[in-house]
Amino acid sequence: MKKLFAISVLALATLSIGSAKTYEIILSGPSRAGSIDLKPGQYKLKVEGSNAIFTDVNSYKSYTTPVKIETTEKKFDGTRVQSTKDGNVDKIEEIDLGGSKTKLGF
C-alpha cells in the first residue's frame, strides 16, 4: 500500500511540473527583468518556484531570474508587462499573468 501511495504522489508531482502554464510576452525594446538583460522579441514565460524563466521563441535560449510572486483579489484579463525607462532599457517592474490572480515583481 505504501508503494502505491508513493507512486501516486510521484505521478501527481510529475503532472503538476509538466503542466506548468506558460505565458507569451513581447518586448519591444531592450529590457531588464531582475538581474537579466533581454533583447527585444517574443518570449515564453514560465514560473518555477521563486524563479521566472524567459525563453526566447526564436533562439530557444532561456534566462532565469528570481521573482517575487504575489496573489491579487481579481484575475487579470490578459498578461501585461509594466516597466519604467532607465536610459535606453525598459526596466520590468511587474508582470501580471493573464487568466490568473498572480503578479510577478522584479
pTM of the model as a whole: 0.79
pLDDT of residue 82: 97
pLDDT at 19 over 60: no
Backbone angles phi, psi at 97, to 5 degrees: -90, 115
Find the mean pLDDT for residues 47-58.
Answer: 97
pLDDT at 10 over 60: no
pLDDT at 8 over 50: no
Q: Over pLDDT 90: what percentage of the chain?
A: 81
Q: Where are the chain's structural domains?
A: 20-105
Q: Within 10 Å of residue 7's Cβ, how many Cβ atoms?
A: 10
